Structures are given as C-alpha cells and as structure tokens.
Amino acid sequence: MRRLNLLTAAFVSLVLATAAHAADKANMLLLDIKGGQVTIELMPKVAPEHVKRISTLANDGFYDGLKFHRVIEGFMAQTGDPRGDGTGGSDKPDLKAEFSDVPFERGTLGMARSQNPDSGNSQFFIMFAPAPHLNNQYTVFGKVTEGMEHIDAIKRGSTAQNGTVQDPDTILKMRTADKY
C-alpha cells in the first residue's frame, strides 16, 4: 500500500510539473528578428487581457513581417501595426488599460495606444532604457529575458521625425513557445 501511495504521489508530481511547464511555455514569446531570437516573459497576472491578445495575434501569425516603424534611440522600438506607419491595428476591439505598479525598465514591453488609455490593440513597444514617466500610463505585459542585444541592434529612426524609420527592420516570426 505504501508503495502505491509513493507511485501515486510521484505521478501527481509529474503531472503538475508537466502542466506548469506547459503554462510557462504558453507565457513565453519567441520573437525572431534579423539579429536572432528574443525570449519574452509574458505577465498574465499583471495584464491578463493584453497577454491574451498578444498571444492570440502572435499565434495567428499576425506579427510576422511587421515593421519596427518607430524606433527612438535611448527610448524604445515600436511595432505591431499592419499599416507600418503607427495608425493601424488588428481587427479585434481595443482593450481597456491594465495599468500596474510594474515599472518601465530596459527590456519592458508595453502596449502602445492613442491619447485614450483604453485604445491598446496590437501595437507594442520594447524599452531600450528606463522610462519612469510611462509608469501607470501604459500597460506593461512582458519583459525581455534573453536576446536584448538583438533588440539593441534594431535600426533606429529619425529624431526629426519622431522615430520614423526608413527601410525598417521587421519581425520575422513571433509565437508563444508552446506554439513555436
């Protein structure tokens, strides 16, 4: 009987570990750009609706081929617009803001929006440096955990044109790790 309980406990432990691993992979984005692969930890406890949106769009292939259309030295790189000029989004409805206490630091991912805090859709940005003025103003939904050197190598835009990039770098592929 004791041996059966030990086997049952071992089996339950294995099932829980497998489930946790699958959840971890579902909350990890793999972003391929020309310099290499970037690993992003998503934050479903911080911004559940934004994580769900980004994951859905990524796994549908929405981001593949999209431009880093606005890249400002020392600030951030923005992408996620199918029009490539900062005015577009997906065909899904805009999201309500999910502001948090998570600060905008180097490697943080935030959801781009218009003046309306509840207008996030598909565009997002990755920080090159801390930007405390964005804290509690934009939704944080992830953080780069590996490959920040590839983000640092993204082609910069013109400061005279608010970061608009001529012949911009693109996303080659982006999926959650469980769907990659």
Number of domain units in the chain: 1
What would the mean pLDDT of 32-47 be, rounded to a whole number? 98
Contact 111, 102 (CB under 8 A): no
Q: Tell me: the pLDDT tens digits for 70-116?
A: 999 999 999 999 999 999 999 999 999 999 999 999 999 999 999 99
pLDDT grade, residue 57 (50/70/90)? very high
* CATH number of the domain where residue 34 is located: 2.40.100.10
Per the structure, the complete domain to which residue 20 belongs is given by 2-176
Contact 80, 68 (CB under 8 A): no
Which residues, including other chains, have CB under 8 Å from residue 81's CB and lie 6 or more apart?
A: 66, 67, 69, 87, 88, 89, 122, 123
DSSP H helices, 27-142, are 48-59
Contact 99, 137 (CB under 8 A): yes
pLDDT of residue 23: 62
d(CA 18, CA 2): 24
What would the mean pLDDT of 60-64 be, rounded to a whole number? 98
Radius of gyration of the chain (CA): 18
pLDDT grade, residue 3 (50/70/90)? low
Q: Tell me: the pLDDT tens digits for 136-149?
A: 999 999 999 999 99
pLDDT of residue 15: 40
